[in-house]
Amino acid sequence: MHSIRLAAACLLALSLPAWGAGMVEARVVVAPGVVLRMIEAGPKDTSAPIVFIPGWSTGADIWRGQMKRLATRRRVISFDPRSQGASTVTTRGNTPEQRAADLHTLLMKGHVDRPVLVAWSQAVQDVAAYALRYGTKDISGIVLVDAPVASGANAIAEQPKRSADQFRLFGIYQSDQEVYLRGMFGAIISKPQPPGVVDRAVATGMKTPPSIGVAMLVSDMFGPDRRGALAKLACPVLFIAAARSQELDLQKAQAEEVDNAQFVRIDDAAHAVFVDQPDRFALVLRAFLKGLGGPA
- pTM of the predicted structure, to 2 decimals: 0.92
Q: Dump pLDDT digits (tens) for 104-152.
A: 999 999 999 999 999 999 999 999 999 999 999 999 999 999 999 999 9
Q: Looking at the DSSP assignment, which residues form a beta bridge with residue 172?
A: none
Q: What are the extents of the domains in the chain?
A: 2-291
**Domain with residues 2-291, CATH architecture:** 3-Layer(aba) Sandwich (3.40)
Task: pLDDT tens for the chain, 296 residues: list them.
Answer: 333 333 333 434 444 445 555 889 999 999 999 999 999 999 988 889 999 999 999 999 999 999 999 999 999 999 999 999 999 999 999 999 999 999 999 999 999 999 999 999 999 999 999 999 999 999 999 999 999 999 999 999 988 999 999 999 999 999 999 999 999 999 999 999 999 999 999 999 999 999 999 999 999 999 999 999 999 999 999 999 999 999 999 999 999 999 999 999 999 999 999 999 999 999 999 999 999 976 66
Q: What is the DSSP string of 216-270?
A: HHHHHHHSS--GGGGGG--S-EEEEEETT-TTHHHHHHHHHHSTTEEEEEESS--
Q: What is the DSSP string of 8-39?
A: TTEEEEEE-GGG-TT-EEEEEEEETTEEEEEE
Cα distance between residue 287 and residue 264, in whole Å = 11
**Confidence at residue 12, expressed as pLDDT on a 0 to 100 scale:** 40
Distant-in-sequence, close-in-space partners of 233: CB < 8 Å, separation ≥ 6: 131, 136, 142, 258, 259, 261
